Structure 1
Amino acid sequence: MTPPPDASPVSQALILIAEDEPEIVDILAVYLARSGLRTVHATDGRRALELHRSLRPDLVLLDVNMPHVDGWQVLSEIRHLGTTPVIMLTALDQDIDKLMGLRIGADDYIVKPFNPAEVAARIQAVLRRTLPGAGRGNQHVLQAGPFHIDLDNHEAMVEVDHHRRPLSLTLTEFNLLAQMVRAPKRVFSRAELLTTCLPEGDALERTVDSHISKLRRKLEEVGVSGVPVGIRGVGYKLWSGE
């Protein structure tokens, strides 16, 4: 039985488990229920994408070796649609597989066999990072510093002198800002930003620089200077320091 909800912002979050092995699903569902989390299950990649679109889960626990559509394709499609946190779950343990998952935009990577209690703990850690103080009705609003990003309504606001001001951003600029607001001090490589935030037709990493430059100018126009921060030879992060 699922325990009653508590005061935690991650309580009652919905987790999509995309896994084709029923024994693993059953074990994970039990441990996640003990943590107050709700679960829904997809046995193949195609169904996982359908449930992601219709249910808008708070997090996807995604196996790589899925029937019909593999986990890499599912992850790529989820990243094109938005910023739903994704934890990869796989028997593969090569560094190249981990790097591929992180490059496409995975938030974490768990190798089988695993401790289900650890999986539950890592899911909660990602949720605490991506749903700060949010209840079930507003978990799709990202906040960091002066930035407020409403993913549902595709609105970006910045607070300047105690007043929220709307930002007029292109789709790519909005995606770049949202990606960095989720983890303000994390450095995102150009390759990662290219994969997760830019249209499929853009294939040059330097294209990211152009979009970042335009985003930076728009932020300067409303009184926010020096962000995003460029890290020479690596990529960008929202800001430095605390």
Structure 2
Amino acid sequence: MNKNLILICDDQESIHETIGEYLKLEGMDYVSSYDGLEGLNKAREINPDLILLDLMMPKMFGIEVCKEIRKTNNTPIIMLTAKGETIDRIVGLEIGADDYITKPFSPREVVTRIKTVLRRTTNINIEKSKYSVSYEGLKINLDNHEVYINNELANITPKEIKIFYILASSPGKTLTRDYILSEVWGYDYFGDTRVVDTQIKRLRKKLSTYDVNWQIKSIYGVGYKFEVC
């Protein structure tokens, strides 16, 4: 079995040393980068299994690195930051991070989160790889993260596709914000349900340009549901 390869992007050498030792103990390999631009280039070059990405780095902030990666790649990303404000957590999740850890942290906690995210994303790939959702004028394919609307490839991000798939897989059923948050980001206590509202708002805006007979409907105070008109 191949070892999981983790890309650590952080400008503090001590972070690489401590987390790196714990990763080795768990049978994982890692590659280091010490600024955002180098991290982005290495992410494209080595295609790691997971990226630890610091929010504040020289040359290119972690948020910008995450945005660039998410344009073409769904590699799991865990954001690291010294900031603990809710707004930072929300921004990190909105632009595609899978988890969020605030400094200071223990290396053991970080490695535990890494294992959890890797296990979750692997299970999702295995369980859903053979599934797609189709309606008149709509096809959502999780194998290649593509959505076709009226036979046209839609410009939708990986997180938006996951949300769309979850809703379309249960037509007419109201799904709570907490449920969607847990299914898409994999936990229900580190995030904020406003992330779900923001993602669905963006998804709806993209969908509004198409002539279709289905919609994502808001259920006040509860959540959302996919409804065929």
Query: TM class by shorter-chain length?
Result: 0.5 to 0.7
Any residues of structure 2 matched to 1:107-186 within 5 Å, and which?
107-132=98-123, 143=128, 146-147=131-132, 149-151=142-144, 170-172=153-155, 175=158, 176-178=160-162, 186=180
- Residue type at the aligned position of 1:172: N
Other-structure match for 1:138: none
- Which consecutive residues of structure 1, in runs of 5 or more, have no partner in the other structure? 6-10, 135-140, 157-166, 195-203, 218-227
What TM-score, normalized to structure 2?
0.68
- Partners of 1:230 and 1:118 in 2: CA distance: 38
Q: Secondary structure at the match of 2:37?
A: helix
- Partners of 1:171 and 1:24 in 2: CA distance: 39
| Count of residues in Structure 1 that have an aligned counterpart in Structure 2 | 193
Check conservation: 1:180, 1:186, Cα contact below 8 A.
Answer: no
Aligned-residue offset at 1:109: 0.8
Other-structure match for 1:46: 37
Other-structure match for 1:232: 219
Q: Secondary structure at the match of 1:131?
A: helix
Check conservation: 2:129, 2:143, Cα contact below 8 A.
Answer: no
Q: 1:35 to 1:92 in 2, by over 3 A?
A: same
- Residue type at the aligned position of 1:177: I
Question: Identity of aligned pairs, percent?
Answer: 35
- Partners of 1:16 and 1:128 in 2: CA distance: 17
- Residue type at the aligned position of 1:95: T
Check conservation: 2:146, 2:154, Cα contact below 8 A.
Answer: no
Q: Secondary structure at the match of 1:68?
A: coil
Deviation string 1:57-102 (CA, Å, 9 cap, x unpaired) is 1111000111100111111111222221111111111111111111
What TM-score, normalized to structure 1?
0.65
Q: Secondary structure at the match of 1:36?
A: coil
Check conservation: 1:130, 1:182, Cα contact below 8 A.
Answer: no
Any residues of structure 2 matched to 1:21-100 within 5 Å, and which?
21-100=12-91
RMSD: 3.7
- Partners of 1:229 and 1:145 in 2: CA distance: 24
- Residue type at the aligned position of 1:143: K
